[in-house]
Amino acid sequence: MAEIGSMLESIAHQWRQPLNILGLSMTRLNLSCSLDGKGESAKVLEIAEAQIEYMSQTIDDFRNFFKQDRSQIPVNINAMVNDVEALLGPLLIRKKITIEREIDPEIEVLVYPNELKQVLINLVNNAREAIEHHRGEERLIRIRCTTDERYCTIAIEDTGGGIDVSIIDKIFDPYFTTKFESQGTGIGLYMAKMIIEKHFLGKLSVYNTLKGACFEIRLNRGVKEGSGIPPQIDDSRSHSDS
């Protein structure tokens, strides 16, 4: 029941920013309709429609979270990143943040697709917020994906200045927030970690790099929920030079 409470809290947390964006978009739409006809209006409508679709999908995803009869399916990681970028792209463009990717277009992994997408959305938004508050010259989010015979590793790295060492071990705790967290986007790092480690039997970790932070998802390419022991990930390697 505690997990259900956390999830319901996450729904409210997740909807705040889309609602804010919708409100601003509609304000711009009303203004642009009276000034310039079609061009700007079409762009604003596209943003609003994408946010509405995102919110609708969110509630379905949380409902599916509790279903016991769903199945994991092979998902193309590059295609999923395309979906995430299409959803968040307008906001990233306005914030002058660039996404770079290093992903083999053929990489697939066995997952619940909606849940993995929610995790990626959360981590990209987390990177975006870090970059905004850092205000450095380089505004870059880099998404990498590598595989071997057993594992698929997805890394989301930002140039947001890194995470204070005094809180880096706490950021996956339920209800933990930083002084920069404001708009409530995504399922939250606690829920993201629970999805990766309990549903996918993988690992979600974070470490600082020279210019920012990197969140790393490690998935067992063939394990299904409840079918085995979570992969034992070797954390002995140092990330300080990444």
- pLDDT tens-digit profile of 95-107? 999 999 999 999 9
What is the 3-state composition of the chain as percent helix, strand, coil, each rounded to the nearest 5?
Answer: 45, 20, 35
Which pLDDT score is estimated for 135? 84
The chain-wide mean pLDDT, for the chain, equals 79
Which pLDDT score is estimated for 15? 72
Mean pLDDT, residues 61-85 = 79
Q: Binning pLDDT at 50, 70 and 90, where does residue 8 land? A: low
- Quote the CA–CA distance of 6 and 25 in Å, as a whole number: 30
Decide: 152 and 169 in contact? Cβ < 8 Å. Answer: no
For residues 44 and 234, the model is more confident at 44
Residue 68 pLDDT > 80, yes or no? Answer: no
User: How far from 60 is each of 55, 67, 170, CA to CA, in Å?
Assistant: 9, 11, 29
Cα 83 to the center of its chain, rounded Å: 11
Residue 61 pLDDT > 80, yes or no? Answer: no
Residue 238 pLDDT > 50, yes or no? Answer: no
Which pLDDT score is estimated for 20? 72
Q: Could you tell me the pTM of the whole model?
A: 0.69
Which pLDDT score is estimated for 31? 72
User: How far from 194 is each of 101, 127, 142, 189, 203, CA to CA, in Å?
Assistant: 25, 19, 23, 9, 9
Decide: 160 and 131 in contact? Cβ < 8 Å. Answer: yes
Which pLDDT score is estimated for 177? 66
The amino acid occupying position 46 is E
Q: Binning pLDDT at 50, 70 and 90, where does residue 72 land? A: confident
- Quote the CA–CA distance of 223 and 212 in Å, as a whole number: 31
For residues 64 and 212, the model is more confident at 212
Residue 242 exposed, middle or buried by CB count within 10 Å (0-12, 13-18, 19+): middle
CA angle 236, 237, 239 (to 5 degrees): 125
- Quote the CA–CA distance of 104 and 90 in Å, as a whole number: 25
Mean pLDDT, residues 235-239 = 48
The amino acid occupying position 103 is I
For residues 20 and 75, the model is more confident at 75
For residues 26 and 232, the model is more confident at 26
pLDDT single digits (tens) 166-193: 999 999 987 776 544 434 444 588 889 9
The mean-pLDDT minimum among 15-24, 198-207, 231-240 falls in: 231-240
User: How far from 138 is each of 132, 158, 240, CA to CA, in Å?
Assistant: 11, 9, 19
Which pLDDT score is estimated for 84? 93
- Quote the CA–CA distance of 125 and 119 in Å, as a whole number: 10
Residue 229 pLDDT > 60, yes or no? Answer: no
Mean pLDDT, residues 143-167 = 95
Instruction: Specify the pairing of strand 108-111 against strand 73-76.
Output: antiparallel
Please choose, from the candidates 212, 79, 207, 83, the residue with its C-alpha nearest in 3D space to the C-alpha of residue 140: 212
Q: Tell me the fold of 70-220.
A: Heat Shock Protein 90 (3.30.565)
DSSP state letter for 220: E
